[in-house]
Structure 1
Amino acid sequence: MARLEHLNLTVSDADAFAALLGDLFDWTVRWSGPVLGGAGRSVHVGGPDDYLALYTPGAGVGTAPDSYVTPGALNHIGVVVDDIAQAESRVREAGFTPHNHADYEPGRRFYFDGPDGVEIEVVAYD
């Protein structure tokens, strides 16, 4: 059986994005440093078994097309939490607006648009 270990995502500020995810989800930075011969910086944030590799190119980021119509684009990141009310409170306190709340089989969810327009889905399973 295979499992997903990490995703690599280009962001405008890898350190700030990692700090936010740490505050919201109690994730930790597993590694950070220069990459691609010093042409960029990466921060790995998550848990002991899986993480997001947040990459900031040295030359800065450009603008991206709509992910929902671009092949290969990231549409959202899904994060499972134990306490969805607490997670939503943290998201609001961080200045983001939760939306698209839903109760569905087998749990509950909401979304919010994080830094760089990255949509994050937060879900709790019953």
Structure 2
Amino acid sequence: MHLEHVNITVPDPKASAAKLAQIFGWKIRWQGAAINDGFSVHIGDDESYLALYRPGRPLEPMGETYSYVGGINHVGVVVKDLAATEARVHEAGYKPHNHADYEPGQRFYFDGPDGIEFEVVSYA
């Protein structure tokens, strides 16, 4: 068993997917019309993906999520080369923070497209 996908509402799925492809090397698995006159882009690898969804109506910002039931606090991504990924995060215009070594790996965080926080982890 493995986690297949997580669906997140964003203002511009194509723009968010382009940034995530730049950082993680992911590919677009599918894109097209979605529920509520919306549009979705599925981006990831052959095993799992993020479904980036925009409804056909105006969006409201959620703000800080750690105090809300069901809030998405961050998305964790395992990478082989932490330094190379951090360089791509910088190149994409984001600032890494909260670097840490912990058993059994190393990590950092960054606030990526649409303010979604990502935790980048390497167990290498």
TM-score range, shorter chain: over 0.9
* 1:87 maps to which of 76, 85, 88: 85
| Distance in 1, Cα, partners of 2:16 & 2:3 | 21
- Hey, what's the Cα distance between the residues in 1 that align with 2:114 and 2:19? 12
CA distance in 2, matches of 1:19, 1:73: 24
Identity score, percent = 55
Shift of 1:36: 1.3
Q: How many angstroms apart in 2 are the aligned matches of 1:86 and 1:63? A: 31
The code of the aligned residue for 1:72 comes to G
The CA RMSD measured in Å over matched residues stands at: 1.0
TM-score (norm 1): 0.95
Distance, in Å, in 2 between the alignment partners of 1:6 and 1:76 is 14
Equivalents in 1 of 2:62, 2:70: separation in Å?
12
Q: State the secondary structure of the residue aligned to 1:101.
A: strand
Distance 2:112 2:32 in 1: 23
Please, which of 43, 49, 56 is the counterpart of residue 45 of structure 1? 43
Question: How many residue pairs end up in the alignment?
Answer: 124
- Displacement after TM superposition at 1:65 (Å): 3.6
| Cα deviation digits, residues 45-81 of structure 1 (max 9, x gap) | 0001110000011113211142100000100000111
Equivalent AA in structure 2 for residue 107 of structure 1? G
Equivalent residues in 2 for 1:1-126, closer than 5 Å? 2-36=1-35, 39-126=37-124
Contiguous gaps of at least 5 residues in structure 1: none
Q: Please report the TM-score for the alignment, with normalisation by the length of structure 2.
A: 0.96
Structure 1 residue ranges (4+ consecutive) displaced by more than 2 angstroms after TM superposition:
none
